[in-house]
Amino acid sequence: KNISTEVEVLDSRTVRTAITGSGFCQDTEPYTVYTITRFDRPFASYGTWDDGTVTAGARTGGDGAYVRFDTTKDRTVEATTALSYVDARGAALNLRAEGGHSFDAVRRGAERTWEKRLDDVRVRGGDDTLRRTFYSS
């Protein structure tokens, strides 16, 4: 359950949030997750909303933000999001440490890691469908 949301458009490519919620598991105390999202191109426009009121060009809001991009030449927009349950600085540090790679580069790295792990595994028995399910899960 969302208790509160704070959102800020930091610059022409970055949005930061702090979202406080509760009820994640039974009887949990409220928690805040801090996120920062960096896009691979500048916004064509942006804004925020509070209590159903949308304000174009606003950088801060209590309910959410929107961003728009010029996609006339390239329809693909990539975004990298990092989070922290400690503070906004932690989310920014996580983005700096883990971000900066394209979606395709991250996918290729994950595939290499997965293949390396699977090289150590040998499966016997089952039919082709079961083995395919095992290796692709």
Residues 95 and 98: their CA atoms lie apart, in Å, by 5
Whether residue 135 contacts residue 118, with contact meaning beta carbons closer than 8 Å, is answered with yes
DSSP line for 48-71: EEETTEEEET-SEESSEEEEE---
Q: What is the pTM of this model?
A: 0.78
Residues 86 and 33: their CA atoms lie apart, in Å, by 8
Residues 86 and 35: their CA atoms lie apart, in Å, by 11
The pLDDT value recorded for residue 124 is 82
117: Cα within 13 Å, side-chain hemisphere: 10
Residues 94 and 107: their CA atoms lie apart, in Å, by 18
Token reading at 21 = 């919620």
Q: What is the pLDDT along the chain (137 residues), one digit of tens a residue?
A: 889 999 999 999 999 999 999 987 777 889 999 999 999 999 999 999 998 899 999 999 999 999 999 999 999 999 999 999 999 999 999 999 987 788 888 889 889 998 888 888 888 888 889 888 887 77
